[in-house]
Amino acid sequence: MRYELYYWPGIQGRGEYVRLALEDAGAPYVDVARVPEKEGGGVAAMTRLLDGADTRRPPFAPPFLMAGRQLIGQTANILLFLGSRLDLAPRDAAGKLWAHQLQLTIADFLTEVHDTHHPLGPHLYYEQQRPAAKRRAKAFLAQRLPKFLDYFERVLRANAASGPGIVGARISYVDLSLAQVVAGLRYAFPSASRAALANCPRQCALHDEVFARPRLKRYLKSERRLPFNNDDLFRRYPELDG
């Protein structure tokens, strides 16, 4: 099956977690919004599905995935769907549910990361909410960042006897996502994340292992991998870096 991924063309964002799974599995896919409009792609193709009257089960927002006739929204939901098909999820029902639970926790983590630079909402520019962002980032780095990282480190430690990743005997889509989180934290908060990750050797090792996987290593060197930037989910503002 050739998949169609719909996400904003200029950022990694939440779509990157789906891309990593597709790239790691070598699954054929099209990043539709990056295709020129004259070839049927672009943001216009994405908004037609979001807002079109003919879309029976419209997603709320990107990312969403077209798989045959199925239109699937929400990052964690897309990965739940793809996990078994791409051999990136446990095979048993309990393991699949556990992986999905961990992915939802990552989604919560990402929301809190985003809110460090946009605590008053996305309708305002960062410069319009800088004082609130400084307060939010200070609290995040002091309290929430170590809480999330400690949790994932504990889960990795508990699974160490079963496999190299966070769930089951093989690397899963959750491991790919957690590695991406580590990369994003290092970009957005280079100083604070260095200190926090010093206590998380398993997450650092997982990051290195995931991005050393042959297909992902090639992906990182390709034009398909967009660089982090300040229109993205992870943003680097030195004044927020603890």
The answer to whether residue 232 sits within a structural domain is no
Query: Are 21 and 56 found together in one domain?
Result: yes
Query: Are 74 and 128 found together in one domain?
Result: no
In 3D, which of 53, 56, 54, 58 has the Cα closest to residue 6? Answer: 58
If 0-12 CB within 10 Å is exposed, 13-18 middle and 19+ buried, where does residue 54 land?
Answer: exposed
Domain span including residue 72: 3-85
CATH code of residue 46? 3.40.30.10
Query: Are 168 and 205 found together in one domain?
Result: yes
Query: Are 104 and 81 found together in one domain?
Result: no
- pLDDT at position 216: 98
Whole-number Å distance between alpha carbons of 137 and 43:
32
Domain count for the chain:
2
Residue partners of 70: CB distance under 8 A and separation at least 6? 81
> Which of 56, 85, 114 lies at the terminal end of a domain, its last residue?
85
- pLDDT at position 52: 81
pLDDT tens per residue, the chain (242 residues)?
899 999 999 999 999 999 999 999 999 999 999 999 999 999 999 999 999 888 889 999 999 999 999 999 999 999 999 999 999 999 999 999 999 999 999 999 999 999 999 999 999 999 999 999 999 999 999 999 999 999 999 999 999 999 999 999 999 999 999 999 999 999 999 999 999 999 999 999 999 999 999 999 999 999 999 999 999 999 999 999 98
The answer to whether residue 70 sits within a structural domain is yes
- pLDDT at position 185: 98
Query: Are 65 and 168 found together in one domain?
Result: no
- pLDDT at position 53: 82
- pLDDT at position 100: 98
Q: Other C-beta atoms within 10 Å of 231: how many? A: 10
The answer to whether residue 10 sits within a structural domain is yes
Query: Are 14 and 115 found together in one domain?
Result: no
The answer to whether residue 230 sits within a structural domain is no
If 0-12 CB within 10 Å is exposed, 13-18 middle and 19+ buried, where does residue 85 land?
Answer: middle
Stated pTM of the model:
0.96
Query: Are 61 and 42 found together in one domain?
Result: yes
The answer to whether residue 189 sits within a structural domain is yes
- pLDDT at position 242: 83
Query: Are 105 and 161 found together in one domain?
Result: yes
